[in-house]
Structure formats: structure tokens, C-alpha cells
Structure 1
């Protein structure tokens, strides 16, 4: 029986306006520390909407079982230096694009749109709110330390969202929190959660699962992300903020061209 899904919105740290403002300071902080900006481009970044497509993802068998993203290792290794995205995250985004082609054939989602979301939300599973102890994806694709947003209790300019999962996903039995590399709220994950790494569990903390869940959320409602109207609607369904939309657009476009690798 097919479930009817309601319109989904309000995912992630990006929902919290104050956190969006804090995240926007990352470039300034990195410059202060003497590190290059996140997007040190070799060529002007396109301003397209939808974003220009990133490097073509090679065809793999995404129905073979297990962690199919690992079959994209050779592709991700080459692309990592150009995009400054950790290979494991790249594999997850590429795998999500290929799976989405089968599950949502009219969507035409590209991996760099998912990467744009992940950059804005958590810098690909590394930003957790602690400048001195950033997270890092472990060998199984989980951020360490885990990334859990602040309680959405109506304070600190947040929405007030009472607990919807008894704390099963976010560890909070009073209010919901956004979790994982793509910062899903429990109520949103309940609707679009997916198993991207083939372990039989849909977990928003795992990068393959989160990337595929993000693709499902963007494609929700049979959207076509190859046209401006569809792409804009998809991203705004993820977070209903025009500032957020512009940041994702910029990041996704940046990943469509070769970037200078950091030392």
C-alpha cells in the first residue's frame, strides 16, 4: 500500500535562523586562520538555476546489495581534489543520484545538488557547532562526534517542535532536533528515510542513507529538478528560506567546475 506523504519542510540546522547566521561566518573564520575559502575556483562559478551538472557519475549496479557507493571509489578519488569534498561523502552523493534515477525517473537530480545541501547544512558531515572539535566521517559513514542540532523548543529564534519520535532518532524526548550530515528532523525522516548503504536500516546519521533521503525529499511530488521551477521548489521544501536557496545554488554550481585542492 502506498502511503500518501504530506508536504515536508523544515529540515536541518538550516531551519534555525541563528545557526544559519553562524554557519555563514565559516568563510571569515577560515580566512582568519590562514586557510583558503571553501570554494577557491579556477574559473568563474556559474550562477545557473538549476545548477550546472557536476561530473558524470559512472554507471554501477546499485541493486547488487551491500554498500554500493563503494563501487564509486575510483570516481570519488579523482573528483575529491577538484571539489574539496571527502571521497566517502562524494561516493554517497553519486550513489544517491544513481538510485534516484531508478526510483524517481522524472526527477533528474544530480549529485552536486545533494552536495550543495550537505555543504550548507554541515560542511559534508564535519560542522557540529564546535569549532575546536569538528566531526569527521568514520569508515562506516557516520560523523564522529555525531551531529545533533539544538532543541527546537521555541527559544534562540527556533521553531517550537514537540518531540515526534520519543527521542529514538535525536535522543531528545521533549523536542525534536535535526541530526546527521544532512540534518534531518525526525518527522521528515519518517517520511523519506532510506537505506542507502544496504545494511537494512534507514539511519539519518549515516552519509549514504542521508544522501538518498535528501534525494527523496528533493524529488518528492514528482518534481523535475532539471527545470528552474522544480529545482527551486525542491530546495525550498528542504528549507523554506530564499537565503538558504541561494547558498545551495552557489555551492552546487561551485561543484560543477574543477576547484583548486587545498594542501
Structure 2
């Protein structure tokens, strides 16, 4: 058995989104779907593979994909009812948006837009179950909520065709504009909900987000919906507990989300350390280095150094999830995102991506908590 790489010093990261310029050009595939692949049973990625890794395209797990990115958390985190008019200026929404803008790192105006988009679609297509966190995930992936990207396509990256089809007759807005977060959110919601789609989770959410992206995007579509899913899950979690926003676990998660699409590199510590990408424990170590928490370098040493999460307790955002045999060797580690998902550098021939963290028959052994 090939041993895993020796610990290496990892350069201190200056920002969680480092490496974005190369990410869109990664030719290595992301698995189309969120079920755990054979690497969890076949030795994981702490040792190099001598054979080409088959690219799997498994059927998405209907009870996990979308998940917290589908059902709304708006009424839980803000005093908003479905029958309220989605007009800009509703005081409870303003208070809610102002409270969460800092913790979520989303401008309050964009948050208002996402919430109003959800409320409008509740009235127009209640069976769609559009959530503001899905719109926020799209806003993050497309333009960093209007702070970047193609300004002519607005904060939600709507194409001219999408805007023409879905951007007319928006409640409460006399002259809708693609650059207006409220108008763009309603148009984006209509595009996502088209054809009777149910975004409450499963294939409906996964396929709708993929089709939202331009068809010509090709391989970038998979990266896009992974970014949407990851950010939507983070926003959902933080909206219910914004006090966690500055904690190391959230900072580490933000960093890990920023690496989606980078290639798996055995022994890799990431672009800031001179590698094109990461292996599993290189990713988790770099994520917590960025948050100011030092971890050992390998999956096995991380497992043995961290306080274990009780077996009866579900992992929390930022926990590390481990695979292998505690009596011999832990061969793989991922960073738990929430809703049964982890951020993961799977194996050679694949990119950093989101997977379900535990399925029947895998060799999951438990979680460890680097920090609250």
C-alpha cells in the first residue's frame, strides 16, 4: 500500500476565493450528482491511483439534493407571511435583510430582492417551492450579488432571452430592469419554476439550476450548480444562526466553497502553496489554516487529533467527516456542509466538489470538530 504524503507547510491564505481565475478552466469532471462514489470503499484519496479513474454520473439522491436549498427558511428567520405583498419596503423584510446582510456577506438590497422573489413566486406558482436561498446561491455564483460578473445580465446572470420571457409584469415594479434585484429575482424564479418544476429538493432542483445556466456553458454548468448548492446551504444555515458567521468553522467552509472546481492533486496544498489543487486532507487543512486553526496534514492524523463528534449527533457545518478503519488507518476526510452534504476532494481525475457524506455500505467512521 502506498503511503500518503508527509505533512507540508501550507501557505497562509489571504482570501477564501483564491484561485478563481483557473477554476472555470478545469477540464477534470465533477461528478454529475451527489451520491458517494466508489472511492469511499476503494481506499479514498490519501494514496495515488495507478489506473485511470472512471468518471461516474450517478443518479442524484432525491432526498438530499437541494434539500435545505429548496424549502424556505424565510418564515423561520423573519416575520414574513406568504400573503404579504412582495413590494419593496415591507418593514419586516427590511429589518431581516439589514440584520443578515453582514453575516451572510450579501448586500441588504440583494437580500430584499431574493426574499421578494420567493414571495412573488409563492403567489404565482406555490407548488414550485422556490426559496430565497436558491436565488442567493445563484446570485453568489453569477456576480457575487451584483458586485461583479457581467453587469448587463444583472445580479442573477439572466440572459437576454430569459429576461425577455420572464421579466415583464412584475408585481410592485412599474418599470422592471434586469439590474434591479427585485425584478431580477422574480424573473429568475419564473425561469426556475417553468414547466411546473418543484424546487423542494431532489432532481427538480438539480435539473432546474442546471438548465438556468446557458446551454453553451458545457462543463461549467456542473461547477455552477455545485456553487449554487454550496452557497445556498451556507446561507440557509447562517440565516438561522447569524452569530456563527465569524467563527472558524464558517470561515473554513467559505474557503472550501471557494475551491470548488479545482483539480484533485495527490499531496496538493492548493494554488497558494504551488499546487494546482488539493488532496482531501490538503483541502481540510488549508480551509482551517485560512480560519486560523492549525490542523495536522493527513486524514489519519486529523482524525486522531480532533475531539470526536458523538456518534448519536449529526455533524455540524465545518466538522470534518472521516472514512477508513480507526484501528489501522483513516484514508479520507471531507468538510461537512450541512443537510447531509460535504465539500470533498474525491480522487484523481476529479475536481473539488460536493458529495453526500454518508451512504449505506461506505466506510464512514465519524466526525471531528476542529472549532465551533
| Aligned CA-pair RMSD | 2.8
Q: Are 1:219 and 2:193 an aligned pair?
A: yes
Partner of 2:147: 126
CA displacement, residues 67-92 of structure 1 (integer Å, 9 cap, x when unaligned): 35665101112222331211111111
Partner of 1:56: 74
Distance 1:75 1:60 in 2: 15
TM-score by length of 1: 0.59
Greater relative CO, 1 or 2 (CA 8 Å, sep 6+): 1
SS in 1 for 2:98: helix
8 A Cα contact 1:83 1:261, kept in partner: no
Distance 2:16 2:170 in 1: 29
Partner of 2:226: 246
Report the CA distance between 1:128 and its aligned residue.
3.7
Partner of 2:108: 87
Pick which of 212-221 and 188-197 moved more: 188-197
Report the CA distance between 1:183 and its aligned residue.
1.7
Counterparts in 2 of 1:224 and 1:113: CA distance versus 1, 3 Å: same
Give the 4+ runs in structure 1 shifted more than 6 A: none
Counterparts in 2 of 1:252 and 1:51: CA distance versus 1, 3 Å: farther
Pick which of 195-204 and 88-97 moved more: 195-204
Distance 1:221 1:79 in 2: 32
Q: Are 1:260 and 2:213 an aligned pair?
A: no
Pick which of 89-98 and 193-202 moved more: 193-202
Counterparts in 2 of 1:237 and 1:128: CA distance versus 1, 3 Å: closer
Report the CA distance between 1:213 and its aligned residue.
0.6
TM-score by length of 2: 0.43
Q: Are 1:67 and 2:96 an aligned pair?
A: no
8 A Cα contact 2:173 2:183, kept in partner: no
Gaps of 5+ in 1: 1-24, 31-46, 130-146, 149-178
Counterparts in 2 of 1:62 and 1:203: CA distance versus 1, 3 Å: farther
Counterparts in 2 of 1:227 and 1:100: CA distance versus 1, 3 Å: same
8 A Cα contact 1:107 1:222, kept in partner: yes
Q: Which has the higher strand share?
A: 2
Of 159, 173, 185, the match for 1:185: 159
CA displacement, residues 171-214 of structure 1 (integer Å, 9 cap, x when unaligned): xxxxxxxx211122211211111455723222111110001111
Distance 1:119 1:238 in 2: 14
Partner of 1:115: 136
Q: Are 1:234 and 2:208 an aligned pair?
A: yes
Distance 1:108 1:60 in 2: 12
